């Protein structure tokens, strides 16, 4: 089974399709699943082998692996352990999209995925931060503070190119993870990591979605304090010891007797 899958997976990753727009891999999986002697255990063993291939570093190959697991319904411990070894126990490189695809399947298999594993995905965080947010929702299922710090950390990082609008299609997932009661606080915290213009646009969008009245916090630049030069002691003595200015004298006009 491994050889049959590998041959078709390589063609799939190269974009080879039939006249009907399907890949030979998809057609093979459909026939395989319908076969009366289909062996799920053998299929999962084959998946575990495919994950270890160097080609899994390429996103199309890894997406094909995920497709095989989905079509054959193979999300067991053998496949899960192979994913964990490749993702977090190996120095073999993976493209950012490959990281996302394989981690998503690792979570689907019931793998232990938390903040430590999320932080290991540094390439995904830098190159595809919006997909990193999707995984952060799984890494912080009951930790609103941790999730908030993770999201605001993306907007605060000068080396990461990300726009607040990536949160729009993830609104329902964010509310589900954070909770409706705490979402406004989350939104205000996120807004403070944005520039003034983006901050207003973001909160306007939140207000439209929720009927809230959140207002942006003005970001006042730190004022520059001038350094006062010390006054020489002689000048101080001169100013303090100098007699007061003479008062004006009003001329007395004699009164006629």
What's the confidence (pLDDT) of residue 21? Answer: 79
Q: Where are the alpha helices (DSSP H) in the chain?
A: 2-13, 24-34, 40-52, 59-72, 77-88, 96-108, 115-119, 122-127, 129-139, 144-156, 171-178, 180-191, 196-210, 233-241
Specify the higher pLDDT residue, 121 or 248: 121
- Where residue 243 falls among pLDDT bands split at 50, 70, 90? low
What's the confidence (pLDDT) of residue 223? Answer: 39
Q: What is the mean pLDDT of residues 212-241?
A: 58
DSSP letters, 46-61, are HHHHHHHSGGGGSHHH
Task: Return the closest-CA partner of residue 85 out of 106, 70, 64, 104.
Answer: 106
pLDDT in tens, 138-152: 999 989 999 999 999
89 burial level (CB within 10 Å; 0-12, 13-18, 19+): exposed
pTM of the model: 0.81
What's the confidence (pLDDT) of residue 242? Answer: 53
Specify the range with the lowest mean pLDDT, choosing from 85-99, 158-172, 206-220, 241-255. 241-255
């Amino acid at each position: 089974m491994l050889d049959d899958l590998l041959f078709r997976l390589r063609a799939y990753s190269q974009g080879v399709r039939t006249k009907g727009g399907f890949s030979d891999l998809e057609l093979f999986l459909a026939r395989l699943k319908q076969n009366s002697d289909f062996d799920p255990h053998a299929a999962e063993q084959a998946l575990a082998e495919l994950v270890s291939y160097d080609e899994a570093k390429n996103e199309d190959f890894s997406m094909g692996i995920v497709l095989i697991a989905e079509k054959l319904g193979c999300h067991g411990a053998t496949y899960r352990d192979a994913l964990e070894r490749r993702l977090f126990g190996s120095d073999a490189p993976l493209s950012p999209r490959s990281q996302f695809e394989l981690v998503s399947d690792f979570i689907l298999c019931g793998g232990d995925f938390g903040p430590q594993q999320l932080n290991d995905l540094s390439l995904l965080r830098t190159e595809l931060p919006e997909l990193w947010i999707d995984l952060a929702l799984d890494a912080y299922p009951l930790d609103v503070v941790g999730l908030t710090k993770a999201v605001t950390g993306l907007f605060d990082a000068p080396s990461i190119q990300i726009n607040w609008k990536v949160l729009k299609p993830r609104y329902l997932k964010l509310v589900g993870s954070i909770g409706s009661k705490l979402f406004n606080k989350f939104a205000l915290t996120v807004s403070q990591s944005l520039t003034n213009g983006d901050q207003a646009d973001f909160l306007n969008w939140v207000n439209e979605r929720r009927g809230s009245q959140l207002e942006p916090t003005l970001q006042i630049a730190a004022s520059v304090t001038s350094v006062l030069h010390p006054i020489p002691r002689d000048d101080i003595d001169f100013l303090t010891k100098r007699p007061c200015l003479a008062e004006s004298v009003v001329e007395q006009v004699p009164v006629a007797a």
